[in-house]
Amino acid sequence: MNNNIRNFCIIAHIDHGKSTLADRLLEATGTIASRDMKAQILDSLTLERERGITIKLVPVRMDYTAKDGNKYILNLIDTPGHVDFAYEVSRSLAACEGALLVVDATQGVEAQTVANAYQAIDQGLEILPVINKIDLPSARPDNAKQEISDVVGLDASEALLASAKTGLGVNEILESVVKNIPAPSGDVNLPLQALIFDSVYDNYRGVICYVRVINGSIKTGQNILFMANNITYPVNEVGVFKPGFTPVNELKAGEVGYITASIKTLAEAQVGDTITDANNPATSPLPGYKKVKSVVFCGFYPVERDNYPQLRDALEKLCLNDSAVTYEPESSEALGFGFRCGFLGLLHMDVVQERLREEYGVELVATAPNVIYEVVKTDGEVIEAHRPSDFPDPSEIQEIREPYIKLSVFMPSEYTGRVMQLVQDKRGTYKSMDYLTPERVRLVYEMPLSEFIVDFHDKLKSQTRGYASLDYELVGLRASELVRVDILVNGEAADAFSFVCHKDQAYNRGHAVVTKLKELIPSQLFEIPIQASIGRRVIVRVNVRALRKDVLAKCYGGDITRKRKLLEKQKEGKKRMKQIGKVAIPQEAFLAFMQVDGNDK
């Protein structure tokens, strides 16, 4: 009975033309007239359009009359391409029976092509390879096909050739979707089981759950049960994405659509949960998703301290739409009150920061990203260390473990040497190297996540002129020879400047920090030693020279009031600084430290 439905998604490496292809499919099926087409309609967040990337998945329903004369409903679920958002990919995959695997004819297979394709295979999806951008003079479709078969291991002999830009091959893709992607299985007569594959928050309607109905059906007024939380709601509205929310009477097994039920918070309607009929519940929920875990952390602080409540409200609202962000209050000596936030990766962090700015008008300071360490103490206790100050005394530490990633880099072979050097400098350990073609290489390394998040991506880009692509996955915690380096200002420990690093980097990074502080701490009435130490052992020392002259001569009758005001201003300036012992340290020092680069000597 669901033979005329096809649920599919498009998976691709970033920039391989996924969103443009989606636009063409919408046009070809008449879902959107081309005159209404904003460039890349599916990228609905402003930020997505600006950056040309897809972050949130967006579903759309198309009506299509195939060459066989039958009418079909095609549900396209767009997916993000960036590695940080791999979990979003896995969610859309679970709602589909098939996937278009788009590969750029000029670039070939890239790191995330492989990662995404494997995920789709793992979910049992039918995969249709599409070679895109064949209109470009530098297109080499045969090479791309070869790579799909050699590197991914999929038969690409039947791969469709297309140009999303010109519209070439789009009809063939639609025909292939109808012909090759299986219709959804499932039984409308069984008790309702609908998978929530995404949810968004709407100010007027509450949470909108994006659902794929696996068995049974769902309609307005029906009492539904969220199986994870055991909460019941009456359905207010069911509908499909035409695009845009379009109410319908009912969603049946095999269909993709949305429901609203005046749900107040995203926590009640968790992504991955199963919705069933409250009066006739299914015996078990569908397999859900792994709960995503934050791996990269940083502090967000309002630029103006008074704006803390605004930042809090903005984060709360943003999290209604992005359940992958975690946050908890923290305070910093330098920055006041703020939040420690967890993200899926660096891009995710960047995106959240920009959304806070763009959508909520919050100006904020983000501290340098870091990871969570695991410290095994000599008494056997295991603690999680978020900040250097969480580390116990060195004598109490048995072992420190840090998260590692498996990193795959795809690149033209000429850059192999440089990339190996780069990864080794970042404490990477070699795993494998293979030639995809005579010109292209895949390198696999394991490296600490903490090294990866600092500036690895930028360095990789500059070392390979942007020709490398990468993918990574977490492979767990590994013991590392890490040390906490303390910074002492005038003999007093300045917690805000202490950091954790590998023992081999302690000197260089300690040197970088004290040198930077020397530049930023203004001369004061006395000489100020700045030291970096590991435990009690000082490894670097510099001095901020004492102030030599600070007096502007004249002061007679008419000057006295003005002079007093200047002194008050001078004092105010000093008050804005943070006092550590007797030393006043300006805000900029704390801010600059957050960007300190270990190689910046």
Partner 1 sequence: METTNKTGLYIHVPFCERKCGYCSFYSVELRAGNIDSWLESIANEAKNFRATHIDTLYIGGGTPSVLNISRWEKLLRIIKENFDVDNLLEATTEANPNSLTREHIKFFQANNLTRISLGVQSLNDNELKTLGRLHDSDKALKAMELVKDSGLSLNCDLIFGIPEQTLRTWAKSLKGVLKFADHVSTYQLTLEPDTPLGKIYDNESLNQQGYKFYRYSQYYLPRRNFAQYEISNFAREGYECQHNLLYWNHSNVIALGPSAVSYINGVRIKRTPEGMIEREELSERERAIELAILSLRTKWGVKREGLLPEVESVIDSLPDDLFVKSDERIVLSPRGMRLGNSIWSEIIDA
Asked if 557 touches partner 1 (CB under 8 A), the answer is yes
Asked if 567 touches partner 1 (CB under 8 A), the answer is yes
Number of chain positions touching partner 1 (CB under 8 A): 26
d(CA 341, CA 228): 25
Provide φ and ψ at 223, rounded to 5°.
-85, 120
Site string for partner 1, 471-510 (x = CB under 8 A): ----------------------------------------
At closest approach, how far in Å is the CB of 541 from partner 1?
20
Provide φ and ψ at 559, rounded to 5°.
-90, -15
Asked if 33 touches partner 1 (CB under 8 A), the answer is no
* DSSP 8-state class, residue 291: P
538 strand-pairing partners: 533
415: tokens are: 């850059």
| Choices 170-178, 265-273, 412-420, 549-557 (CB under 8 A): range interacting with partner 1 | 549-557
Out of 564, 588, 595, 597, the only residue in the binding site for partner 1 (CB under 8 A) is 564
Comparing CB distances to partner 1, the nearer of 548 and 601 is 548
Comparing CB distances to partner 1, the nearer of 432 and 561 is 561
Cβ-proximal residues to 249 (8 Å cutoff; 6+ apart), any chain: 219, 220, 238
Out of 526, 545, 579, 600, the only residue in the binding site for partner 1 (CB under 8 A) is 526
First to last CA, the chain: 69
Instruction: Measure CA 499 to chain center.
Output: 24
592: tokens are: 């600059």
- The SS3 call for residue 268 is coil
Asked if 571 touches partner 1 (CB under 8 A), the answer is yes
Asked if 519 touches partner 1 (CB under 8 A), the answer is no
d(CA 454, CA 364): 19
Asked if 548 touches partner 1 (CB under 8 A), the answer is yes
291: left (phi over 0), alpha (psi -120 to 50) or beta: beta
Cβ-proximal residues to 319 (8 Å cutoff; 6+ apart), any chain: 266, 325, 327
Largest CA distance in the chain: 100
Restricted to residues 375-404, the positions that interact with partner 1 (CB under 8 A) are none
Out of 290, 554, 576, 601, the only residue in the binding site for partner 1 (CB under 8 A) is 554
Provide φ and ψ at 512, rounded to 5°.
-60, -40
Asked if 189 touches partner 1 (CB under 8 A), the answer is no
Restricted to residues 146-175, the positions that interact with partner 1 (CB under 8 A) are none
Asked if 576 touches partner 1 (CB under 8 A), the answer is no
Are the CB atoms for 162 and 175 separated by under 8 Å?
A: no
Are the CB atoms for 136 and 105 separated by under 8 Å?
A: yes
The residue type of 27 is E
Are the CB atoms for 91 and 287 separated by under 8 Å?
A: no
At closest approach, how far in Å is the CB of 336 from partner 1?
21
Asked if 561 touches partner 1 (CB under 8 A), the answer is yes
Provide φ and ψ at 85, rounded to 5°.
-105, 25
| Choices 24-32, 147-155, 200-208, 567-575 (CB under 8 A): range interacting with partner 1 | 567-575
Comparing CB distances to partner 1, the nearer of 479 and 567 is 567
| Choices 202-210, 233-241, 431-439, 542-550 (CB under 8 A): range interacting with partner 1 | 542-550
At closest approach, how far in Å is the CB of 270 from partner 1?
54
Out of 570, 577, 590, 595, the only residue in the binding site for partner 1 (CB under 8 A) is 570
Comparing CB distances to partner 1, the nearer of 431 and 582 is 582
At closest approach, how far in Å is the CB of 572 from partner 1?
9
DSSP 403-450: EEEEEEEEEEGGGHHHHHHHHHHTT-EEEEEEEEETTEEEEEEEEEHH
At closest approach, how far in Å is the CB of 557 from partner 1?
5
Burial of 468-497, coded b for 16+ CB within 10 Å and e otherwise, reads: bbbbbeeeebeebebbbbbbbbbeebbebb
Out of 574, 579, 588, 595, the only residue in the binding site for partner 1 (CB under 8 A) is 574
Out of 524, 544, 580, 593, the only residue in the binding site for partner 1 (CB under 8 A) is 524
At closest approach, how far in Å is the CB of 562 from partner 1?
10
Comparing CB distances to partner 1, the nearer of 305 and 562 is 562
Footprint of partner 1 (CB under 8 A): 524-526, 547-558, 560-561, 564, 566-568, 570-571, 574-575, 582
